[in-house]
């Protein structure tokens, strides 16, 4: 699995990006189309957006639930040095319903 590249940045800002997202449903033979909104704070580094898009595309042929996909994105994106406070929200239209999944890490100093 590829991982998104990070690039240095001098400013500390909150970044929000929204992109289409696709995966294979592990329960019903169908493609699930949705979107993902990712928020993060820069702390010397940020994601290079083209590589982030390439990383998101790797899920298009994977069988994975909405919940697990959301948590996996959060875990992977949170693991990068210089990237803080990652929040991931996915949104899906399936089974005649709008489904949203949110995932974030609570900083250790807040536990």
Q: DSSP for 4-52?
A: --EEE-SS--EEEEEEEEEEE-SSSSSEEEEEEEEEEEESSEEE-HHHH
Q: Please give the pLDDT value at position 95.
A: 87
- Name the pTM for this structure: 0.91
* Predicted pLDDT at 2: 84
Half-sphere exposure of 54 (CA within 13 A, CB side): 11
Helix (H, G, I), strand (E, B) or coil at 79: coil
Confidence of residue 109 (pLDDT cuts 50, 70, 90): low
CB 86 within 8 A of CB 74: yes
Lowest mean pLDDT among 10-14, 17-21, 106-110: 106-110
**pLDDT tens-digit series, residues 24-72:** 999 999 999 999 999 999 999 999 999 999 999 999 999 999 999 999 9
Task: Pick 14-110's CATH classification: 3.30.230.10, 3.30.360.10, 3.30.1130.10, 1.20.1250.20.
Answer: 3.30.1130.10
**Is pLDDT of 110 > 60?**
no
Contacts of 13 (CB under 8 A, 6+ apart): 41, 42
Structure tokens belonging to residue 48: 């290079």
Q: For the chain, first and last CA: distance in Å?
A: 31
Query: pLDDT band at 107, cuts 50/70/90?
Result: low
Instruction: Please report the pLDDT score of residue 111 as a whole number.
Output: 47
**Contact call for residues 31 and 22 (beta carbons, < 8 A):** yes
Convert the pLDDT of each residue in 70-94 to its tens digit.
999 999 999 999 999 999 999 999 8
């Amino acid at each position: 699995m590829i991982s998104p590249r990070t690039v240095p940045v001098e400013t500390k800002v909150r970044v929000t990006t929204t992109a289409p997202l696709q995966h294979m449903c592990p329960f019903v033979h169908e493609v699930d189309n949705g979107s993902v909104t990712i928020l993060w704070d820069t702390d010397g580094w940020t994601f290079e957006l083209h590589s982030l898009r390439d990383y998101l595309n790797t899920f298009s042929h994977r069988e994975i639930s909405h919940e697990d996909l959301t948590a996996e994105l959060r875990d992977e994106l949170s693991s990068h040095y210089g990237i803080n406070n990652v929040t991931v929200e996915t949104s899906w239209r399936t089974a005649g319903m709008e489904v949203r999944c949110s995932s974030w890490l609570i900083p250790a100093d807040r536990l």
